[in-house]
Amino acid sequence: MRGLVETSPLPFLAALNISFANRTVQDYDKLIAERFSLMIRRGSVFPLVGIALVLLLATAAGCQPATITITGTPPATDGSSLVPPSFVDVVEKVRPSVVVIETETSEGSGWIIDSDGIVVTNNHVVEDAESIFVTLDDGRTFPADSVSADPLTDIAIVRINARNLPAADISDFNNSKVGQPVAAIGNSLGQGISLKGGWVSRLNTSVIVDGQWLFGLIETDAAINAGNSGGPLVNMNGEVIGITSVKLVGVEVEGIGYAISIETALPVIEDLITQGFVVHPYLGVGGLHTVDTAIVAFFDLSIDRGVLLTSVAPGQPADAAGLEPEDVIVAIDGEAVTSIEQLVGAIRSREVGQQIEITYWRGNTQIVTNATLVARPTE
């Protein structure tokens, strides 16, 4: 052991500036510990090597190595870690409330909103159907007693003669956030109830389907396939946050689906349950175009923003207010309107019988007029 402790040939020990001549092992331990501590405080580049050598020398001298305790923050267990979310509990909670809806031409999905046999689905699932059957998770099948639907929002309710059914829980309106995990549960591809997980991509968005705007939508990358329509989009608490409805299809489109938010859907559902129909406000304009450079050039407009009208329904509020084809609406109640989406949204957010102020351009003249909205005619 003498040759080991008389001098230090190692650069690291030289850096510690320790002389080993005539020292006991205890002296060496004390000196190394002092110098090593000093180097740590000075930000030395050798701290890990120093620990290894201290342990090596102590062991070689017959001493017991020191116990090193490493402390730190354990991985998060509150769901904020990078571990993917588990939908096991969600499926167990929600699945009993999800149903399969079959008509003579197609299959879709729905979910129980009331234990007394009221099921929510999409209008396009049951539209024009002569026979509708609802199959519960327990295997029982019931014919539809009645159907109430609102084509404008693509929402319908189906009543069946059953009681004490497991109704789904509904989320608070304000709980949905972009980035939260969600699951679409339904009769995907007609293969029975299954789950497709994903995330909330956008909130309060809109799309046009078959010439009709759908508003208040949740965009998600959870796979929405044929048969999913009408089923619930749920959060990790197993609460319904939307009604799966639309999927974008195209060569360059992947992972874009939409659900009608429960905030948008509930007032419609309540009207369908209580009165069997929904009354929507109506202005009576059509052939709408968002004004852009092409529209400006084609119609030789003097204004480069707003919504161009190409038709006005005779005898309806817009006609009574003096609007004509090729007028450009730029504001409703003082709020700027720059797209079809904004104009339609502004009208739908009002009430039947409410008077609105319309600012529009005709040629080079800006005009302000008022119109009183009426109930949308049934088609």
Q: Which residues are catalytic?
A: 124, 154, 229
- Give the Cα separation of 333 and 345 in Å (integer): 13
In b/e form, how buried is each residue of 165-175, taking b as 16+ CB within 10 angstroms?
bebbebbeeee
Q: What is the DSSP letter of 362?
A: E
CB neighbour class for 372 (10 Å; exposed up to 12, middle 13-18, buried from 19): middle
Q: Is the distance from CB of 348 to CB of 279 less than 8 angstroms?
A: no
CA distance 17 to 248: 72
CA distance 356 to 350: 9
Q: Which residue has the tokens 């062991």?
A: 59
Looking up tokens 């020191």, which residue turns up?
66
Question: β-strand 98-103 against 281-282: which pairing, if any?
Answer: unpaired
3-state helix, strand, coil split of the chain in percent (to 5) is 25, 30, 45
Distance between CA atoms of residues 210 and 218, nearest Å: 19
261's enclosing H/E stretch is strand 257-261
* CB-based contact 215:206 (threshold 8 Å): yes
> How many degrees, rounded to 5, is the angle at CA 242 between CA 241 and CA 248?
135
3-class SS of residue 322: coil
- Cβ pair 36, 15 in contact under 8 A: no
For 367, the token pair is: 């005009």
- Total Cβ atoms within 10 A of residue 117: 18
Angstrom distance (rounded) from CA 48 to CA 333: 70
Is the CB of residue 225 less than 8 Å from the CB of residue 234?
no
What is the greatest pairwise CA distance in the chain? 113
